[in-house]
Chain A
Amino acid sequence: MSSTEVEVRATAAEAKRAAERGAKSRKIAGISVSYLILIIGCCIAIFPFLYIVSLSFKESTSLVSYPPKWIPDPFYFGNYTFLLGETSYIRWAFNTFAFAGSVTALKIFFDSIAGYTFAKMDFPGKEILFTFVLATLMIPFAATLIPAFLIVKNLGMVNTYWGLILPPLASPIGIFMMRQFIESLPKDLENAARLDGCSEFYIYLRIILPNCKPALAVLGIFVFMTQWTNFIWPLVVAKADEMRVLTVGLASLKGQWVTNWGVIAAGSVMLMIPIAIVFIFFQRWFIAGSMAGALKE
């Protein structure tokens, strides 16, 4: 073996090692860049929330200070006491929970029983009805806003809980979700019960429902969040101060000419705190719920 040959081999091995090292360091660099971008994304997502928490503890007169004071000094609680004492904030919070909670409870019952019917029962017109339900997904709520309002008005339900609650019940997504899930349950369970002479309602209540708790939780969170964030319907149908929900009430605090920004910041913070707490504990369910629509394929 000539010395040059050995040299060539040595350099080849070295080049290979170097290439491997290069690939590895490139990979590490790639992952680092990924994390960097993701962390920037997190900061952009979260920073505005922290900013209004800071603003909510400042007096409105000191909002404009420049350079900005990120940490309020001194801490000022006047915005919160004003909100709880001088506005109907507590009443709005109660209305929001009554409204979103009722829609959620009713939708869980209606959609699970309809999902069971579409998944497990045979009846004439099933396909047509299901296609109809599917098609209603395409109707934008804004398009039926005016007649929905007129119907509620003719029923004498403007500025009532009934007026708030009933129209949002006409929404199809939960039916898909529940049908999808119940279809995946084994048939043996219900068939055994059927042979024992149980009624369909008994099967639904005692066999199907206990077996779809996860789907019910996802549906519940999805419906609750949809109504909790609803704005245009409560704005139209419940304008009276004592019937407002939080979103409409908060918007009403933004005056036409003079606005107390510190109070609005405080109101937004108080609205987000319960969501943040529940979200931290039940993150998985929220994310599953937000994909409710996508699961229908």
Chain B
Amino acid sequence: MQYSESEHKRLARAYRFKKYGVAYLFLSPNLLFFFIFLVIPFFWVLWLTFNSGGILTPTKFVGLQNWSRVLQDPTAWRSLLNTLYYMAIAIPTVFAIGMGLALLLKRTTKFVTPIRAMIYFPTLAPIVVGALLWIFVVHPDFGLFNTMLRLLGLPIVNWLGNPATALPTIASLEVWRGSGYWTVLFLAALLALPTELFDAAKIDGAGAIRRFWHLTLPLLRPTWLFAIVMATIWNFQLFDSVYILTDGGPNYSTATAVWYIYKNTFQFDKPGYGAAMSFFLLIITLVLAVVELRLMRKKA
């Protein structure tokens, strides 16, 4: 059967239309939820920043008032700095421990699976459970830390009650819970590295430390890139453990960005104020991620 040229074109168009239609149909469930729960919220949060009024009370347009009040709010700044301080303690520590344990695990040949499983296990605990567990570790009366200190004959510390130690104590929970994840991730990356390069470097007389700095680290760059960006995004959202352990105290020493957003929105009923902070959080996270990506690219 012969088709005329216009007929042929029409059929081709109909075929393409159907094919593309199927593709979009297959994507539609995901795109629908992305649209409702990511795209709309993204613009809505921006709109909310220009309004006052609560979840219960009617909204009122107030322009940039929320923005300027957030910028002048010492607690907002405090919670941002606390979050950065927490990240500065927790992220390098989990990376160092994770990389250290991964290097050790790579050298060993026996019992790798059970050791890896035990080191990884704390990651499976929800942060809430980790935080409740940490109460038993840092409780001034019956906590593990103080039990140890007493056994050693040292004075006990009120870990979460002291503004100087409260945030590092919360970071210690993340170190305990998170190190296993990075160990497993770094170990997988280490095992995927080509061995020939390392053998060649060994023959050329490069010591273990030089091999690590000049071969292992540069070769692991894609893993680092992922690890640093994701650790920044995840840890910036520190909330669960603060909510359980200290609720921001004592004296706002453990107030974090997401905790303060939660407080303002759902307890003080100031969603516009919370939204302005959410928007700052979004911008800061994106800037940090982009800067990290840039820095890592340049280094290579």
Contact = CB atoms under 8 A, between A and B. Distances in A.
B27 interface: yes
Contact of B176 (A45, A151, A166): A45
Contact of B120 (A149, A287, A294): A287
A252 to B, nearest CB: 10
Interface string B24-62: 101101110110111011101100100000010000000
Contacts of B243: 231, 235, 251
Interface stretch (A31-39, A83-91, A212-220): A31-39
Contacts of B19: 121-123
Contacts of B26: 113-114, 116-117, 121, 200-201, 204
A268 B136 CA distance: 11
| Overall SS of chain B's interface | helix
Contacts of A279: 117, 121, 124
A138 interface: yes
Interface in A229-250: 229-232, 235-236, 246-248, 250
| Overall SS of chain A's interface | helix
Interface in A271-297: 271-272, 275-276, 279-280, 283, 286-287, 290-291, 293-294, 296-297
Contacts of A261: 135-136, 139, 142
B113 A140 contact: no
Interface string A138-161: 111111111111110100000000
For chain A, give the interface size range. Answer: 35 or more
B108 A51 contact: no
Contacts of A141: 237
Contacts of B189: 294
Contact of A268 (B124, B129, B179, B184): B129
A170 interface: yes
14 contacts: A47-B144, A48-B176, A51-B144, A110-B29, A121-B19, A147-B41, A147-B45, A151-B37, A169-B29, A247-B126, A261-B135, A268-B133, A279-B121, A297-B222
Interface of A: 30-31, 34-35, 37-39, 41-42, 44-49, 51-52, 55, 63-68, 106, 109-111, 113-114, 116-118, 121-124, 126, 129, 133, 136, 138-151, 153, 166-167, 169-170, 172, 175, 200-201, 204, 225, 228-232, 235-236, 246-248, 250-251, 254, 261, 264-265, 267-268, 271-272, 275-276, 279-280, 283, 286-287, 290-291, 293-294, 296-297
Interface of B: 19-20, 22-24, 26-27, 29-31, 33-34, 36-38, 40-42, 44-45, 48, 55, 97, 100-101, 104-105, 107-108, 113, 115-129, 132-137, 139, 141-142, 144, 147, 150-151, 176, 179-181, 184-185, 188-189, 222-223, 225-227, 230, 233, 236-237, 239-240, 243-244, 257-258, 261-262, 265-266, 271, 274-275, 278-279, 281-282, 285-286, 289
